[in-house]
Amino acid sequence: MSAKQATPEQLATLTVPATLPGVVRRGTPVWAWDEDTPWAVLAVGNGEAVCAPCAGLGIPSLIDIGNLQVDLTDATGRTHVSWAIGGDVSDSRLHPTTDGGWLVAGRLYYPVAYPIGCTVPTLRGIDRKDDTRLPDGSYLVDVLALKVIALHVLGGGE
């Protein structure tokens, strides 16, 4: 039996603001505010990013970072967010732990207070047993947890 696939509505929620500190760098997959086409960052500086469409031919554009959302359905976007949370570490993947938390970029996060790690209250609503997958096979719950942790640690969230 194959795993349930995330709906287009679920996938559409899997972004974080490009304004989160340290997230956007060369190669970060982003969505522009008024586009249906995924973009990739070519260069970033002074609150702006030079972006090019990911598919087909297109002219690179200078876009204010405030108008961009980082795509968490893309593994590169998740990696760049993980690096921003924990610094450039060799293991940027998100791992559920046996005691109810998540390990991301070498740091532990829990839905309730534990002696080690950072408490992130909004993780309580994420069902760790949900088998829904993204198109690349990643677990939807892990990406949702990463989004909540990124907003909590980097700003813009609980």
Q: Is the pTM of this model over 0.85?
A: no
Residue count of the chain, please give it: 158
pLDDT the model gives residue 99: 63
Going by C-alpha positions, the residue among 63, 36, 33 that lies closest to residue 48 is 63
Indicate if the pLDDT at residue 49 is higher than 80.
yes
What are the distances in angstroms from CA 88 to CA 76, 82, 83, 105, 106?
13, 8, 5, 8, 10
From residue 78, alpha-carbon distances to 57, 60, 70, 114, 142 in Å are 25, 23, 9, 25, 10
| CA pair distance 138, 73, nearest whole angstrom | 9
The band of 77, judged by pLDDT with boundaries at 50, 70 and 90, is: very high
Per-residue pLDDT tens over the stretch 136-156? 999 998 899 889 888 888 886
For 110, the enclosing helix (H) or strand (E) is strand 107-110
Q: How many CA atoms lie within 13 A of 47 on its CB side?
A: 3
Under the banding of pLDDT at 50, 70 and 90, the label for residue 61 is confident
| Partner residues linked to 153 by β-bridges | none
Locate the domains of the chain by residue range. Answer: 8-154
pLDDT at position 98 is 66
